[in-house]
Structure 1
Amino acid sequence: MNPVTALPDWPFPRWIAHRGAGKLAPENTLAAFRLGASHGYRAFECDVKLSADDVPFLLHDGTLDRTTNARGRAANRPWSELSRLDAGGWHSRQYAGEPLTSLQALANFLRRNHHWLDLEIKPTKGDEERTGRLVAAEVQRLWAGDPLPPLLSSFRPEALLGARQAAPELARALLVDTHWPNWVSMAQQLGCVAAITNYHLMDATLLQHLHSCGLRALVYTVNDPAPVQQLLAMGIDGIITDAVDQFAPA
Structure 2
Amino acid sequence: MSQHLKQSWPYPELVAHRGGGTLAPENTLAGFREGIRYGYRAAECDVKLSADNVCFLLHDDTVDRTSNGQGEAKLKTMAELSMLDAGGWKGAAFAGEALPTLANVAAYCRAQDMLLNIEIKPCPGRFEETGRLVAQEAARLWAGAAVPPLLSSFEIDALRAAQAAEPALPRAFLCEDIPANWREILRELDCVALHCDHHALTAELARDIKQAGYQLLCYTVNDPADAERLLAWGVDGLCTDRLDLLPARR
In the superposition, the TM-score normalised over structure 1's length comes to 0.95
The answer to whether the 8 A contact 2:21-2:243 is kept is no
Question: Which residue in the other structure is 1:156 paired with?
Answer: 155
Question: Which residue in the other structure is 1:102 paired with?
Answer: 101
Question: What is the SS of the residue equivalent to 1:52?
Answer: coil
Q: Deviations over 1:11-63 (max 9, x none)?
A: 11111000111311100000010011100001000100000000000000000
Question: What is the SS of the residue equivalent to 2:7?
Answer: coil
Question: What is the SS of the residue equivalent to 2:46?
Answer: strand
Q: In 2, Cα distance between the equivalents of 1:122 and 1:18? A: 14
Question: What is the SS of the residue equivalent to 1:23?
Answer: helix
Question: Which residue in the other structure is 1:16 paired with?
Answer: 15
Question: What is the SS of the residue equivalent to 2:11?
Answer: coil
Identical aligned residues as a percent:
50
Question: Which residue in the other structure is 2:139 paired with?
Answer: 140
The answer to whether the 8 A contact 2:21-2:240 is kept is no
Aligned-residue offset at 1:181: 4.0
Question: Which residue in the other structure is 1:35 paired with?
Answer: 34
Letter of the 2:27 counterpart: N
- Map 1:107-118 to 2 at 5 A: 107-118=106-117
Deviates more, 1:44-53 or 1:178-187: 178-187
Aligned-residue offset at 1:200: 0.6
Question: Which residue in the other structure is 1:167 paired with?
Answer: 166
Question: Which residue in the other structure is 2:223 paired with?
Answer: 224
* Cα RMSD for the two superposed structures: 1.1
The answer to whether the 8 A contact 2:32-2:43 is kept is yes
Question: Which residue in the other structure is 1:70 paired with?
Answer: 69
Q: In 1, Cα distance between the equivalents of 2:193 and 2:142? A: 20
Question: What is the SS of the residue equivalent to 2:194?
Answer: strand
Q: In 1, Cα distance between the equivalents of 2:170 and 2:103? A: 19
The answer to whether the 8 A contact 1:7-1:211 is kept is no
The answer to whether the 8 A contact 2:220-2:238 is kept is yes
Letter of the 2:219 counterpart: Y
The answer to whether the 8 A contact 1:177-1:198 is kept is yes
Question: Which residue in the other structure is 2:245 paired with?
Answer: 246
Question: What is the SS of the residue equivalent to 1:149?
Answer: coil
The answer to whether the 8 A contact 1:8-1:193 is kept is no
- Map 1:173-212 to 2 at 5 A: 173-212=172-211
Q: In 2, Cα distance between the equivalents of 1:180 and 1:214? A: 17
Q: In 2, Cα distance between the equivalents of 1:113 and 1:179? A: 34
Question: Which residue in the other structure is 1:3 paired with?
Answer: none
Q: In 1, Cα distance between the equivalents of 2:18 and 2:57? A: 9
Letter of the 1:81 counterpart: E
**By percentage of residues, which structure has more helix?**
2
Question: What is the SS of the residue equivalent to 1:64?
Answer: coil
Q: In 2, Cα distance between the equivalents of 1:155 and 1:118? A: 13
Q: In 2, Cα distance between the equivalents of 1:181 and 1:70? A: 40
The answer to whether the 8 A contact 1:64-1:70 is kept is yes
Q: In 1, Cα distance between the equivalents of 2:225 and 2:131? A: 35
How many equivalent residue pairs? 245
The answer to whether the 8 A contact 1:49-1:57 is kept is yes
- Map 1:79-98 to 2 at 5 A: 79-98=78-97
Q: In 2, Cα distance between the equivalents of 1:218 and 1:9? A: 15
Q: In 2, Cα distance between the equivalents of 1:233 and 1:180? A: 23
Q: In 2, Cα distance between the equivalents of 1:116 and 1:82? A: 25
